[in-house]
Amino acid sequence: MKIACSLLFAVCCLQQSLFAQPPDSLRGVKYRGIFVNDEDWGLRPWAVRHFGAQEQIGTNAYAEVFALMKADGLNLIWPAMHEGGYEFSARPENLELAKRWGVAVGTSHCEPMLRNNCYLPNADKKKWSWVSNRDFLVDYWREGVRRGTVNGDREVLWTIGMRGIHDGRMPDGKTTEEKIKILEEVFAAQCAMLPDGAPKLFCPYKEVLPIFNAGLKVPEDATILWVNDNFGYVRRLGGPQCEGYGGGIYWHLSYWGRPHGYIHLCTTPPAFMWYELVAKCWENGVRDVWMVNAGDVFQAEILLDAFGRFAADPESWKAKTDPQADALRMWARESFFGQDLQDLQDSENNPDNPVNPVLKLSDRIVQHLNEYFNLGFNRKPEHMCIQWSRALPESVKSSLLKRYHALLNEDIEIERQLTGEGARHIDDYFRLVGFQTRFLAYAGIIHLEGRDKAYAHSVLDPLYARWDALDGGKWSGFWIDTIDERPGMYQPTAHNRWSSQMQWPWNEPDDPARKDRRGESRSDYAATQYRADVPEPTWLEPVARERGAKGGEWVNVAGLGTSGNALALLPVKPGVGEGAFLKFDLNQPLTHSPTHPLNQSSLVLQFLPDFALWPGLKLGVKVSFDDDEAKYVEVPRSDSNIGEKDSVRAVAVQDNFIRVDVPIPSGAKTATITAVDPGVVIDRVGVRTVP
């Protein structure tokens, strides 16, 4: 491992920053973009309904996407990649449209050289092998270069490298060494086709990252797009010798894959996005390209607005004490009350008066969204299932149920107030907020109250019907019916290319060992760390905290973690926070029951399931009781080489926490947690006594 890391660091040190930013853009990320992905559930049915089955996701649909991107300050796109329609670069009008909107064009991690191998004829797909058919691949990629450079004025960011057909594994090479050799040959051939100075991106996604970690040499003038684990946790960044070389990040707001996708709603908290992108990536030199997988795009409008704000000026956002609320407040006021605030500004009324009804209502919407994102982080509706609901301790189940009902009631009340205030955009509220908050609430109620399909139709069908009627039907067909599974190939009338996104109780087998339609075990899909027969810990608050010798400290970040107030070690830089500590009082609750002297009490550390910043570092803290010697506690499965098939991480990314129990010595009065490694986020700390 040390040799591999040294080789990687040497490669990084040779790299130059790909994008020389002009002085007026030094504040932000130069390229901030979206990947249109898993588009077959929402975007494609919508586009087919409005623009026709022949065009599908074409220039008309992309005009809507580019308009949203422009409003959010986004300027790079990876187009939709799945079959159905046509290859984006095959039609010059798409590239011209992007140019007119000021949007640079690229292609995803598995679509090198502005080509999409999903559209190859089946006979040619069998030729997808560098070892056996390199001449075919060279000609194929040269066509991509021709399309992207035909007029000489198109802004293209060229993805280099090679994976398999349609997001599959690279077909050649049995060993890591063989794969490295093949990829380096591919790099050389691709770079030789491109004009001098053409910007290049390499994305070591999924199975490619361990190959990269083993010493793959990337072209010196390419920018590396680091990757997350598909659920937002960044798998690795650069390294200490690479600071300042720039870089990029590919990050998910939507995902279809193991252990279960989340593509219906958009429930990623802005605070989590802020931590992973601003506090972590920007802080460690990832400043050239930020790319998010936006799924069907229009379900993610709130988060794309926050993403644009964060990327435009990360330094100012880094200093925010409540970045989530600030971003949501800006969005809500501009989206629903912009003209009202302007009218107030022009009158004698003070728009900044906190008792102003417009501001009070916008702040209420912000608090409502805070609750929605926290509930969604506690359990995305797509991850709800029979096994999860059965595993919940009664205390957790009753608390969640109360919150789901309250979320539903609050949404109805906010809409009533909006109508009373004469808001100009009542339909926009339902389109941007109401549909998703109500769907999440109903999904939780259905699972935790054991409601049936008839109930689901009675509460969700009206949401779909109201949505389809918005703006004269402009958005009809975007949200598909998830209640009834409609497996089979995509058809415009069925709206569903794969099986349902939702694990409704009536669609799920009681036996988790049964196979799903892809032949994979349901055990990963149903995983959770909760156990109905094990009580939840009694959660504690720190009674004291101290900064590290170099200034880092534990900071509560509003909106972060399942707690909504997780403790992050900031800034996320090696060595800076080392030594910062938190102290907890163990006297209340009692850690030892005199009536059960053999009971074992544990200090429960609930971490975000993140990764160490880069190979050679770990992710953990030291724990000590009273004056005893400190013990190192590592966040489980935090090595970047651990992939999506790991069963522990499959559980953790659905719960969005991972727990470690540390035995408490008899009679201990205090516990101290001391920072060691950068990147640790402590969601909660508690005490649990198990007979």
Least confidently predicted of 101-105, 129-133, 360-364, 371-375: 360-364
d(CA 15, CA 200): 12
138 and 161 share a domain? yes
- Confidence bin at 167 (pLDDT 50/70/90): confident
Does 111 have pLDDT greater than 60?
yes
491 and 583 share a domain? no
Average pLDDT over residues 80-86: 87
Name the domain boundary from 475, 506, 534.
Answer: 534
Contact 87, 140 (CB under 8 A): no
- Confidence bin at 503 (pLDDT 50/70/90): confident
Does 514 have pLDDT greater than 70?
no
- Confidence bin at 338 (pLDDT 50/70/90): confident
193 and 340 share a domain? no
The three-state (H, E, C) secondary structure of 159-212, written as one string: ECCCCCCCCCCCCCCCCHHHHHHHHHHHHHHHHHHCCCCCCEEECCCCCHHHHH
d(CA 132, CA 130): 6
Residue 671 CA to chain centroid, in angstroms? Answer: 33
| Total domains in the fold of the chain | 3
Contact 661, 515 (CB under 8 A): no
407 and 491 share a domain? yes
d(CA 416, CA 368): 14
Of 546, 550, 573, 570, the C-alpha closest to 560 is: 570
Does 40 have pLDDT greater than 90?
no
pLDDT > 70: what percent of the chain? 85
Question: Degrees (nearest 5) of the Cα angle 560, 562, 293?
Answer: 65
- The whole-model pTM stands at 0.91
Name the domain boundary from 534, 554, 579.
Answer: 534
Average pLDDT over residues 512-524: 47
Inter-helix orientation angle 357-378/338-346, to 10°: 150
pLDDT > 90: what percent of the chain? 71
Question: Token digits for 237?
Answer: 């960044």
What per-residue confidence (pLDDT) applies to 4? 35
508 and 646 share a domain? no
| Cβ atoms within 10 Å of 493's Cβ, excluding its own | 8
Number of H helices, E strands in the chain: 20, 19
Name the domain boundary from 305, 320, 335.
Answer: 320
| Omega within 30 of 0 (cis) for the link into 269 | no
Of 192, 188, 200, the C-alpha closest to 224 is: 200
Q: Which residues contact 14 (CB under 8 A, 6 or more apart)?
A: 220
Q: What are phi and psi of 618, to 5 degrees?
A: -115, 180
519 and 631 share a domain? no
d(CA 197, CA 650): 41
d(CA 499, CA 502): 9
Question: Token digits for 361?
Answer: 């209502």
Contact 128, 171 (CB under 8 A): yes
d(CA 121, CA 118): 8
159 and 302 share a domain? yes
- Confidence bin at 19 (pLDDT 50/70/90): very low
Determine the longest span between alpha carbons in the chain, in angstroms. 82
d(CA 245, CA 286): 8
530 and 545 share a domain? no
Does 8 have pLDDT greater than 80?
no
| Cβ atoms within 10 Å of 93's Cβ, excluding its own | 10
Contact 483, 504 (CB under 8 A): yes
What per-residue confidence (pLDDT) applies to 22? 38
d(CA 234, CA 266): 19
Collapsed DSSP state (helix, strand, coil) of residue 608: coil
Eight-state DSSP code of residue 481 = P
Assign residue 359 the CATH number of its domain. Answer: 1.20.58.2150
529 and 547 share a domain? no
- Beta strand 31-36 with 670-675 is unpaired
Contact 148, 156 (CB under 8 A): yes
Question: Token digits for 619?
Answer: 């992710």
Half-sphere exposure of 54 (CA within 13 A, CB side): 0
Strand segments (E) across 3-119: 31-36, 76-78, 104-105
Does 497 have pLDDT greater than 50?
no
657 and 576 share a domain? yes
d(CA 681, CA 568): 4
Assign residue 670 the CATH number of its domain. Answer: 2.60.120.1620
What per-residue confidence (pLDDT) applies to 587? 79
d(CA 130, CA 125): 12
Contact 283, 66 (CB under 8 A): no
Q: Which residues contact 524 (CB under 8 A, 6 or more apart)?
A: 258, 259, 260, 647, 650
What residues make up the domain containing 28? Answer: 2-320
- pLDDT one-digit tens code per residue, 552-600: 999 999 999 999 999 999 999 999 999 999 999 997 655 444 444 445 7
User: When comparing pLDDT for 581 and 526, which is higher?
Assistant: 581
Dihedral, CA of residue 175, residue 180, residue 183 and residue 184, to nearest 10: -150
430 and 302 share a domain? no
331 and 305 share a domain? no
Assign residue 286 the CATH number of its domain. Answer: 3.20.20.520
d(CA 69, CA 63): 10
Of 500, 473, 478, 461, the C-alpha closest to 48 is: 478
Collapsed DSSP state (helix, strand, coil) of residue 221: coil
- Confidence bin at 154 (pLDDT 50/70/90): confident
Q: Which helix or strand (DSSP H or E) is residue 48 part of? A: helix 43-51
Does 640 have pLDDT greater than 50?
yes
Q: First-to-last CA distance in the chain? A: 42
How confident is the prediction for the chain on average, in pLDDT? 87
d(CA 262, CA 472): 29
